[in-house]
Amino acid sequence: ESIVCRMTIVRQIGKVLMNELDNTFAEIAHIIEDARNNAYRKVNEELILMYQRVGQFLSEKSKEASYGDGYIDSLSAYIQRQFPGIKGFNRRGLYRMKQFYEIYAGNEKVSPLVTQLSWTNHLLIMSGSKSDEEREFYMRLAVKERYSKRQLERQMDSCYYERYMLSQSKLLPEPLQSRQNPFLDSYVVEFLDLPDTFHENDFRRALVKGMRDFILELGKDFTFVGEEYPIQVGSEDYRIDLLFFHRNLHCLVAMELKIGKFKPEYVSKMDFCLEGLDRQVKKLDENPSVGLLLCASKNDEVVEYAMSRTLSPMMVAQYQLQLPDKNVLRRKLQELANLPEIEGNAGGGEDA
């Protein structure tokens, strides 16, 4: 037995030493990872600045009589001879660099953001945005959330800008008015593989299964805590469909899922859940919990009536299972802002 005990002690000591070594080595891995990320950012910054300078050169040359398609073709051929195998300097690529420079030239608001985005993301924003405001919105969003090409493309396809701007026109509950609103009036969950007919449990399970895509839609400040989160009151069990923590608001976010239209009685149940969270789960240094009712549809007047007397910070939003019609949302946004119709992409022609 003593031999066995000694061997057990040796193994335990070995595990402790290995854990200490792993922690020490993790510091080295962190240093290497930081250096790699810094190197990538520096390379990307120099690449973007190069495209910007080439664009400036072409923009200035475009004022001369000799400039035209023939000039661009000759320049592209020259670059290929000087730098064999270099990519992106064909005719289309050079026009894009010219457009890139002209769109942001003199715009001090976005200048700090320009080198923080990849060229691929710049191309997506230039080709998919209709206004300076929309371009700036996606630039700031892509930098803040560190979007990949796929993530940014999905947000633009789902009309995130239009949905966000329309959401800002909605009256926020008083406890949220002093904070930046992270909630949308409508959420697009086209990534769910749901049948034509489904139940709320199916909806919840599908969202949990596709949580990575759902967090992209919600925003990366949302951290998933759990599903069917239990709260016990008076020896009875109650469950919250999905529970999140929002890092910026520094509070718990309770989400209730409804596959039908919004009903006024949903508000009282959410009030109850938020009270339970604040009494039983919320930490002392956290803000009061926030509720989000996600319904298949809602009538804004009914929502306003139902929430007029509640003091709880709560939002009601609707979900869509398919990508929305961008033209419809843009018309709504233009009506809201009383703006004239905007035709075509910025830049137009070969530069678009």
Structure tokens at 154: 């999905």
In a domain, 39, yes or no: yes
Final residue before a domain boundary, out of 76, 100, 124: 100
- How far is residue 255's CA from residue 274's CA, in Å, rounded to a whole number? 10
In a domain, 236, yes or no: yes
- How far is residue 142's CA from residue 149's CA, in Å, rounded to a whole number? 9
Q: Give helix 69-82 / helix 91-104 axis angle, nearest 10°.
A: 110
In a domain, 296, yes or no: yes
Q: Are residues 186 and 307 in the same domain?
A: yes
In a domain, 120, yes or no: no
pLDDT of residue 351: 43
In a domain, 216, yes or no: yes
In a domain, 252, yes or no: yes
In a domain, 335, yes or no: no
> In which domain, by residue range, is 315 found?
182-321
In a domain, 162, yes or no: no
How does pLDDT run along the chain (352 residues), one tens digit per residue?
A: 566 566 666 566 666 666 666 666 677 777 787 888 778 889 999 999 999 999 999 999 999 988 988 999 999 999 999 999 899 999 999 999 999 999 999 899 999 999 999 999 999 999 999 999 999 999 999 999 999 999 999 999 999 999 999 888 765 666 565 556 789 999 999 999 899 899 999 999 999 999 999 999 999 999 999 999 999 998 899 999 999 999 999 999 999 999 999 999 999 999 999 999 999 999 999 999 999 999 999 999 999 999 988 888 899 999 999 999 988 888 888 887 764 544 444 444 444 3
Final residue before a domain boundary, out of 100, 135, 151: 100
Q: Are 283 and 246 in contact (CB under 8 A)?
A: no
For the whole model, what pTM was predicted?
Answer: 0.82
Final residue before a domain boundary, out of 62, 81, 100: 100
In CATH, what number is assigned to the domain containing residue 212? 3.40.1350.10
- How far is residue 40's CA from residue 46's CA, in Å, rounded to a whole number? 10
Number of separate domains in the chain: 2
- How far is residue 18's CA from residue 105's CA, in Å, rounded to a whole number? 55
